């Protein structure tokens, strides 16, 4: 097994770490998109997304990822990976 992760040199440490939770971030991004353009047509989707966010405790996803990086003694989130 490789000991070094395959990192995107265009992203910083946090950006690369967030790739690992991209599916969860997509839920938050879609929720925020709907919230910014709320309508009766999107109400059901917004409720479903909110239920997913609550169930997975995604409201503080960025903080959770940063906490994991700290626990792993990774460089600061804004550090270059090259």
Residue 81 near residue 9, CB atoms below 8 Å: yes
81 domain residue, yes or no: no
Residue 28 near residue 58, CB atoms below 8 Å: yes
The pLDDT of residue 3: 82
The pLDDT of residue 21: 97
- Containing structural domain, residue 41: 13-71
Q: Cα dist. 80→14, 29, 39, 59, 76 in Å?
A: 9, 24, 40, 26, 9
2 domain residue, yes or no: no
20 domain residue, yes or no: yes
The pLDDT of residue 63: 94
82 domain residue, yes or no: no
The pLDDT of residue 5: 84
Q: What is the pTM of this model?
A: 0.83
pLDDT in tens, the chain (82 residues): 778 888 999 999 999 999 999 999 999 999 999 999 999 999 999 999 999 999 999 999 999 999 999 999 999 999 999 8
């Amino acid at each position: 097994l490789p000991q070094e992760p395959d990192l995107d040199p265009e992203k910083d440490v946090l950006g690369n770490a967030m790739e690992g939770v991209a599916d969860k971030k997509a839920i938050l991004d879609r929720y925020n998109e709907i919230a910014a353009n709320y309508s009766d047509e999107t109400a059901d989707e917004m409720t479903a997304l909110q239920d997913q966010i609550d169930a997975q405790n995604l409201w503080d996803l960025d903080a959770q990822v940063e906490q994991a990086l700290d626990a792993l003694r990774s460089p600061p989130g804004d550090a270059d990976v090259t």
